[in-house]
Amino acid sequence: MTAHPLGNGGRLAAIHGWLLLLPAAVLLAAFTHYPAVATFWHSLFTTPRGNRPARFIGADHYRDMLADPIFWTALQNNLVFAAGTILPSIALAMAMALWVNARIAGRGLLRLAYFTPTVLPMIAVANIWLFFYTPDYGLFDQVRGLFGLPAVNWLGSGDTALGAVIVVTVWKEAGFFMIFYLAALQQIPPELGEAAQLEGASRWQRFWRVTFPLLMPTTLFVLINATINAFRLVDHLFVMTRGGPDNATSLLLYYIYEVGFKFWDQGYAAALTMVLLSLLATVALLKFFWLERKVHYQ
């Protein structure tokens, strides 16, 4: 490695380095680091209202939270939502990429079909999904009707609403993840597959022994993204269910929005945000200590 003309660790280099970093650092600190810390601080205060200023109440918001059934419902829903979106969207993304990467009829069009959900705004397509799920004359019930099946109130029943919302999320995400698998697949030297073929491995064996392990880094990366998204994607709830029926589709971030911007109880919303932050921090730590060790990428 050639020495940098400004000198490794020289003072001029240090000043230049910090100056280059400064603009991004200021914004990151202001809108990521500061709010993360301030969330905790503000969760210890009441929300100021009218003439009443904020008052320090310690852990009261957290105590309320433990007694708040909607919080527990939203948390539980969010875990189900995560489980229901992460694996299916990854599996589908992988299948899509394999298909689109192989010589399949209409490959270009297919790739386009898989990818379109990524460019459509969720808030708008949610209205279309609302039609698909409408009882009786909605798309799904019309199709079910062909087989003589009864109408289902998909979004209006506590049993099916969360599942319906999960399907929309998987639809939205899978095509985006596909692109990463596609990029990864194109990096796999074909000789590897050919070598396995010569050894007489079946297609299925080749996938599990050669392709799948080689896709592992991509899978882990997509896994993390899908996990973050599971706590971040709530746009469709605004149109499709508003968290109902009876909170059956309420997710943490949606509940935070309701508490913070409909009830204007920003103190309690801060406490709820802390839960979300802890969940994300856990994911980050898992990634750092466990996954990162398995996948070296640098």
Partner 1 sequence: MSESVQLTRALVRPIASPAPSGLLADGRIDRLLNTTGAWALGILWLAPLLYAVWTAFHPSAYSTRFDLFAPLTLENFRAAWAAAPFPRYFLNTSILVATILAGQLVLGTLAAYAFARFSFPGRDIAFALVLIQLMIMPDVLVVENYRSIHALGLVDTIPAMALPYMASAFGIFLLRQTFKTIPRELEEAARIEGCGTLGILWRVYVPLAKPTYLAYALVSVSHHWNNFLWPLIVTNTVETRPLTVGLAVFAGTDQGIDWAIITAATLLASGPLLIAFLLFQRQFVQSFLRAGIR
Partner 2 sequence: MRKLFSGLNQIAAGLGIALSVAAAPAIATDLTFFYPVAVGGPVTKIVDDMAAAFEKEHPGIRIKPVYSGSYQDTITKVLTANKGGDAPHVSVLLSTDMYTLIDEDAIVPFDELARSDEDRAWMQGFFPGFMKNSQTGGKTWGIPFQRSTVVMYWNKDLFKAAGLDPERPPQNWQELVDYGRKLTQRDASGKVTTWGVQVPSSGFPYWLFQTFTTQAGVELMNAAGTQTYFDKPEVIEALQYWVDLSRKHGVHPQGVVEWGTTPKDFFERKAAIIYTTTGNLTNIRNNAGFDFGVAMLPAGKQRGTPTGGGNFHIFKRATAEEREAAMKFVKWMTAPQRAAEWAIATGYVAVSPAAWETETMKKYVADFPAPTVARDQLQYAVAELSTHENQRVTKALNDGLQAALTGTKTPAQAMQDAQREAERILRAYR
Residue 148 interaction partner, one of partner 2, partner 1, none, beta carbon < 5-8 Å per kind: partner 2
For partner 1, the binding residue among 122, 166, 248, 251 (CB under 8 A) is 122
Contact pick of 169, 218, 241, 247 for partner 1 (by CB under 8 A): 218
Q: Which does 167 bind (CB under 5 to 8 A by kind): partner 1, partner 2, none?
A: none
Instruction: Please list, in sequence order, all residues whose beta carbon lies within 8 angstroms of the beta carbon of residue 82, skipping any fewer than 6 positions away.
Output: 227, 230, 231
Minimum CB–partner distance for residue 210 and partner 2 (Å): 48
> How far does Cα 140 stand from its chain's mean position?
26
**Interaction partner, residue 153 (partner 2, partner 1, none; CB < 5-8 Å by kind):** partner 2
Q: DSSP E strands: which ranges in 137-215?
A: none
Give 20's contacts (C-beta < 8 A, 6+ positions apart). none
Sole binder of partner 1 in the list 121, 148, 150, 200 (CB under 8 A): 121
Q: Which does 216 bind (CB under 5 to 8 A by kind): partner 1, partner 2, none?
A: none
Contact string 216-245 vs partner 2 (x = CB under 8 A): -------------------------xx-xx
Peptide bond into 245 cis (omega under 30): yes
User: What Å distances lie between residue 277 and 196, 203, 224, CA to CA?
Assistant: 45, 43, 15
**145 near partner 2, judged by CB under 8 A:** yes
In 3-state terms, what secondary structure has residue 121?
coil
Per rule CB under 8 A, is residue 200 in the interface with partner 1? no
> What's the token pair of residue 57?
């109440």
Beta partners for 52?
49
What is the distance between the alpha carbons of residues 254 and 200, in angstroms, rounded to a whole number?
A: 52
Q: Which residue of 23, 150, 189, 200 would you call a contact of partner 2, by CB under 8 A?
A: 150
Residue 288 CB, shortest distance to partner 1, in Å, is 9
CB of 16 to partner 1, least distance (A): 5
Q: Is 251 in the site for partner 1 (CB under 8 A)?
A: no
In terms of Cα–Cα distance, which of 161, 173, 189, 147 is closest to 77? Answer: 161
Q: How many CA atoms lie within 13 A of 104 on its CB side?
A: 13
- Least distance CB 272 / partner 2 (angstroms): 14
Q: Are 152 and 144 in contact (CB under 8 A)?
A: yes
Contacting positions for partner 2 (CB under 8 A): 49-51, 70, 130, 134-137, 145, 148, 150-151, 153, 155-158, 241-242, 244-248, 258, 261-265
